[in-house]
Amino acid sequence: MLLVTFTVFGAGLWGSSMAEAADATAWEPAESIRQVVEHFVRSRLPQQSQDARITVQGPVEGLHFPRCGHMQARDFGAANPFGAQTVEVACLTPQVWSLYLPVQVAWPQGAVVAARALGAGHVLTEGDLAVVQRDLSSLPAGAITKPAQAIGRVLQYSVAAGQSVTQGMLAGPQLIHYGQSVPLVALGQGVRLVALGMAMENGRQGQTILARNVQSGKVVTGVVDGAGQIMVAMGP
């Protein structure tokens, strides 16, 4: 997309002003316009991504603009500093003109992908994963960037070889299994109570499951913690 607007101040009609401008001020080099846009885009990038690759498209060959004493650039509806965006560059003096240039910002990042096709329920190991370089703007939401974030976790869905692994695809391992003896832990007011329970469901960290208090026979609900305990509410 390339949109151009011109506003010329001074005597005379527009029909002759461009030719006169060419004689009086010459043309602004296209490379100068691109440099203004690139500098603007790079100034908006996070510090850690200053090595991102910026590609400015245009101006269209053969389209000329009067030489400018003061150019500035600004966003044209871009919320994400990466990927495709459009930047407005405008001349403020001596002659007013503006145009909109497409820009592509690519920042290669290490992304964890499946090294081979894997099925749902598979517990990930180091050999199941590979790290490849991919443009940040092309990565899905929640993409994992370090294998350690995925190793030992369980796939909730099947994935194809080369597919990005995301947080949403993964669940923690089963820490508690049906029929297993587990500690039932209640905390409150500086008191920690522990009772022996029997799990009535499988459970991963963060899941709420049922368990039976072995001593009282009462069925309670609690949340599985990272140590494989069931955290229950303190009774009245």
Position 9 scores a pLDDT of: 37
* Other beta carbons within 10 Å of 146: 12
Q: Which fold has domain 175-232?
A: SH3 type barrels. (2.30.30)
Here the tokens at position 200 are 């009535």
CATH number 3.30.360.10 given to 108-171: no
Sign, CA dihedral 138-144-150-156, equals: negative
Q: Are 128 and 168 in contact (CB under 8 A)?
A: no
Burial of 107 (0-12, 13-18, 19+ CB in 10 A): buried
The 3-class secondary structure across the chain, one letter per residue, is CCEEEEECCCCCCHHHHHHHHHHHHCECCHHHHHHHHHHHHHHCCCHHHCCCEEEECCCCCCCCCECCCEEEEEECCCCCCCEEEEEEEEEEECCEEEEEEEEEEECEEEEEEECCCECCCCECCHHHEEEEEEEHHHCCCCECCCHHHCCCCEECCCECCCCECEHHHEECCEEECCCCEEEEEEEECCEEEEEEEEECCCEECCCEEEEEECCCCCEEEEEECCCCCEEECCCC
Position 11 scores a pLDDT of: 33
pTM of this structure? 0.56
With pLDDT > 90 as the criterion, what percentage of the chain qualifies? 67
pLDDT (tens digit, 0 to 9) for every residue of the chain, 236 residues total? 444 443 333 333 334 444 444 454 589 999 999 999 999 999 988 888 878 999 999 999 889 999 999 999 998 766 778 889 999 999 999 999 999 999 999 998 899 999 999 999 999 999 999 999 998 888 898 999 999 999 999 999 999 999 999 999 998 888 999 999 999 999 988 899 999 999 999 999 889 999 999 999 999 999 999 899 999 998 76
Position 49 scores a pLDDT of: 84
Position 16 scores a pLDDT of: 43
> Could you give the 3-state DSSP secondary structure of residue 209?
strand
Position 81 scores a pLDDT of: 84
Position 215 scores a pLDDT of: 94
Position 138 scores a pLDDT of: 86
* Other beta carbons within 10 Å of 198: 16
The strand pairing partners of 51, in sequence order, are: none
Q: Which residues contact 201 (CB under 8 A, 6 or more apart)?
A: 176, 178, 209, 210, 211
